[in-house]
Amino acid sequence: MITSNMIRTITVEIPSKPGSLGKVTAAIGKAGGDIGEIKIMNIGPLSTVRNITIHCVDAGQLSHAIQAIKEIGNGFCIHSVSDDILHAHAGGKIHMASRANINSLDDLRRIYTPGVANVCQVIKDDPKQAKYFTSISNTVAIITDGTAILGLGNIGPVAGMPVMEGKAALFDRLAGISGIPILLDTSDPDEVVQTVKHISKGFGGILLEDIGSPHCFEIEERLKQELPIPVMHDDQHGTAVVSLAAVISACREAGVSLKNSTVGQIGLGAAGLAICRMLMAYGVKEMYGLDLQPSALDRLEGYGGTPLHSLEDLMDKSDIVIATTGVPGLIKPEMIHSGQIILSLSNPSPEIEPENALKAGAIFAADGRSVNNVLGFPGIFRGALNAGAKEITYSMLVAAATAIASCTKSGELVPHPLDPKVHSEVASAVERCTLHAKDLIKVM
């Protein structure tokens, strides 16, 4: 998904008169800025100082917003424009912390030498004991080669480290998992696979992140086949899980049966193909796909979907349309048929604005502002680790999506990404699915 590129905090002083704040917010909105948090910093007898967070697509839009505020009139003064994002990342967002107190020589002897030798011997005699006496079973490697960082593209693994740290912080806060960023200076599938295999003994799971297409497909498939621990590429399956949850919620709001519907996916990159596979695993009636790359269409066909070669054809044949192309305005109002569900998920500029889709006859329409991978990956790995899963299956991912949808309130596409109940429900659903599969294997 494409996201806003700039977030800035404007410290602005405005007259303490009714309507003054409204003039500022209206000026920002007219310039195309999206307002986030507003905080009162100081209240004086004649004026009030506020910090207003603005989300902008680029520096030009930010400049327009600032100029619009300046032109309101006397009494409106911008004191500063600051980049709180850089401040928040100063020094990094994660660090390794000890769970053990080390306050005496006895503590040292217990957790290190000579006492630790006893634990090493226990694990040597029975390697399964590492699950109980080390952190391995609660640690996930977050691996990137830096070739597909957010919407920035191939900017290298070091430049992608802030994203990896963010994933690690979310793992910790939302699921109690230790996430360890691993930066690779190679994109060669053979080298990536071998490197991950060589370090895998220290981890309970592998999360592949921001690895570009098409080599991401080969890397994930090979690691899933060759490692006895859960492996997931978040840009594919994390996005697909949350997208499926959004589609389930949209169908519920519109009174439409998803399993009896034909679905069209516009854009078959890593996320688009994964969404197709997820919807097919869920059991939709027919899955269509469209992309400019013949290789992407071949992949879809190999997975069991139906490739199409024109946007008009896809729009004609699909009850539900999902778009992840990053091309604003790609879907024209005249292409929409009465009763369709339209999810144009590119953000901040969707393939068609939801209000325009509704005017054109769509029964339900939404953009991708609320579709966030963080709703999926922490709970998915928490459930997989709890159940001792050796892989992450489509059944587990569908269970996760269904859990997210069940937590979604009426009128919303997906729940709030920081709602702890959501992550708990996802973890429980994945764990139950895994244990149920193990029970079936035992019976068979």
Return the pLDDT at 347: 77
Return the pLDDT at 259: 96
The residue count for the chain: 444
Question: Is the domain defined by 6-89 classed in CATH 3.30.70.260?
Answer: yes
Instruction: Kindly tell me if the per-residue pLDDT of 274 is higher than 80.
Output: yes
**pLDDT, tens digit, 9 for 90 and up, residues 201-253:** 999 999 999 999 899 999 999 999 999 999 999 999 999 999 999 999 999 99
What's the CA gap between 404 and 153, in Å, rounded?
Answer: 29
Which CATH architecture does the domain made up of 236-444 adopt? Answer: 3-Layer(aba) Sandwich (3.40)
Q: Which residue has the tokens 């998992």?
A: 177
pLDDT tier at 3 (50, 70, 90 boundaries)? very low
Determine whether 394 is an active site residue: no
DSSP 408: P
Residue of 338, 316, 325, 368 whose CA lies nearest to 256? 338
Return the pLDDT at 150: 82
Instruction: Kindly tell me if the per-residue pLDDT of 271 is higher than 60.
Output: yes
Return the pLDDT at 5: 67
Cβ neighbours, 10 Å, residue 221:
14
From-to residues of CATH 3.30.70.260 in the chain = 6-89
Return the pLDDT at 370: 83
What's the CA gap between 350 and 381, in Å, rounded?
Answer: 30
Q: Edge-to-edge strand order for the sheet containing 178-183?
A: 178-183, 139-144, 205-208, 231-233
The one catalytic residue in 167, 224, 282, 288 is 167
Mean pLDDT of the chain: 93
For the chain, what percent of residues have pLDDT higher than 70? 97
DSSP 361: T
Cis? peptide before 214, omega within 30° of 0: yes
Residue of 99, 101, 162, 164 whose CA lies nearest to 135? 99
**Does 308 or 326 have the greater pLDDT score?**
308
From-to residues of CATH 3.40.50.720 in the chain = 236-444
Contact between 345 and 322 under an 8 Å Cβ cutoff? The reply is yes
The one catalytic residue in 112, 132, 359, 421 is 112
Mean pLDDT of 366-386: 94
What's the CA gap between 78 and 24, in Å, rounded?
Answer: 11
Q: Domain 135-229: give its CATH superfamily.
A: Malic enzyme, N-terminal domain (3.40.50.10380)
Determine whether 224 is an active site residue: no
What's the CA gap between 177 and 58, in Å, rounded?
Answer: 35
Return the pLDDT at 444: 42
What's the CA gap between 263 and 306, in Å, rounded?
Answer: 10
Sign of CA dihedral 271, 277, 281, 282: positive
**pLDDT, tens digit, 9 for 90 and up, residues 150-188:** 878 899 999 999 999 999 999 999 999 999 999 999 999
Residue of 137, 123, 133 whose CA lies nearest to 387? 137
From-to residues of CATH 3.40.50.10380 in the chain = 135-229
Return the pLDDT at 439: 60
